[in-house]
Amino acid sequence: MISLRHLTKRYGDTTAVADLSLEIRAGAVTGFLGPNGAGKSTTMRVIVGVDHPTEGSATIGGERYTDLRYPLHVVGALLDARAVHPGRSGRNHLLAMARSNGIGRRRVDEVLELVGLSAAAGRRAGGYSLGMGQRLGIAGALLGDPPVLLFDEPVNGLDPDGVLWIRQLTRRLADEGRTVLVSSHLMSELQLMADQLVVLGRGRLLADAPLAEVIAGATPVVTQVRCADAGGAELLGQRLASHGYHVERPEPALLRVANAATAAVGDLAHQAGVAVHELTAQTASLEEAYLRLTDGSVEYAAAGSPAGRSAQ
């Protein structure tokens, strides 16, 4: 488990992370979200001892990273896939990491096979594609078979097969009881892989809750009902409005009902004798929830973007 207690990190007059307290639990994939400059990378760097907190603490299993004798056995991290000597082969890069933490050569070969780089292990890392570099970074994170894993933008440069592999890998690691923290700007992927979400904005905590709760809390539930004809839609719309529901009618035979369960809408349609051809709950996306949560927290907003318009 990762524990943050009143974590604050300043760089001169800039506060990158402000009084952040949370626990990232084992057995789950935690998605780490926030606009550029929100403090995500800074937080991950503090967790693994690359940066030191100005105030507060970050611990892994109750210990600071800098106090761990063999840290690769406790936590593995992919923070920057480019942090590799370009003249070393992929295998030699991992061997150097392994020797520093008492890990045998056999484990190096195991992780190379796991990430699909066995055939390219003898090539210089400087000649790797972006996707291959990501795989090498993930191999390094897995090297010590650690119970805690941090991945910063792990799907960058990966093809669709690689993206699916990352999704399955993170799920398997969490199912094994490990703590998995994944930072990404790809909302569609995090919606598929995450159990829990932590959202930052301007260095402060905006949300720390299960994925479904974040989506449900930030976006209204909408039930869409398509009637057999416009007359039925008119009648059902009146019946719904009389029960206090907010109803929109984008098409003559189509209704959109806010904060109404499909069962309630179906029951009212049945009572009114209205034939219904479609009755579906409109599932909100993580992207919609994220944009609502971070509205006003985007530091670099382009003109015309949702954040840019809200700032005007």
Report the alpha-carbon distance of residue 186 to residue 30 in Å, rounded: 14
Is the predicted pLDDT of residue 140 greater than 70, yes or no? yes
Q: Are residues 151 and 19 in the same domain?
A: yes
Q: What is the mean pLDDT of residues 160-179?
A: 94
Is the predicted pLDDT of residue 265 greater than 70, yes or no? yes
> 205 lies in a domain?
yes
> 304 lies in a domain?
no
Three-state secondary structure along 262-302?
HHHHHHHHHHHCCCEEEEEEECCCHHHHHHHHHCCCCCCCC
Q: Are residues 210 and 128 in the same domain?
A: yes
Residue 251's CB: how many other CB atoms inside 10 A? 11
* Sheet-wide strand order for 55-60: 14-24, 2-11, 55-60
Confidence of residue 299 (pLDDT cuts 50, 70, 90): low
Q: Average per-residue pLDDT in the chain?
A: 91
Report CA Rg, the chain: 24
Q: Residue 231's pLDDT is what? A: 96
Is the predicted pLDDT of residue 216 greater than 90, yes or no? no
Is the predicted pLDDT of residue 68 greater than 60, yes or no? yes
Q: Residue 311's pLDDT is what? A: 45
Q: Are residues 264 and 211 in the same domain?
A: no
Q: Are residues 47 and 170 in the same domain?
A: yes
Is the predicted pLDDT of residue 85 greater than 50, yes or no? yes
Residues 6+ apart with CB under 8 A from 312: none
Q: Residue 306's pLDDT is what? A: 53
Q: What is the mean pLDDT of residues 97-108?
A: 95
What whole-number percentage of the chain has pLDDT above 90? 76
Which candidate, 157, 100, 87, places its Cα nearest to that of 126? 87
Q: Residue 188's pLDDT is what? A: 85
Is the predicted pLDDT of residue 276 greater than 90, yes or no? yes
Q: Are residues 27 and 98 in the same domain?
A: yes
Q: What is the mean pLDDT of residues 162-189?
A: 93
- Domain around 226: 220-282
Please state the domain count of the chain: 2
> 293 lies in a domain?
no
Q: Are residues 199 and 234 in the same domain?
A: no
Phi, psi dihedrals of residue 295, rounded to the nearest 5°: -55, 125
Q: Residue 99's pLDDT is what? A: 95
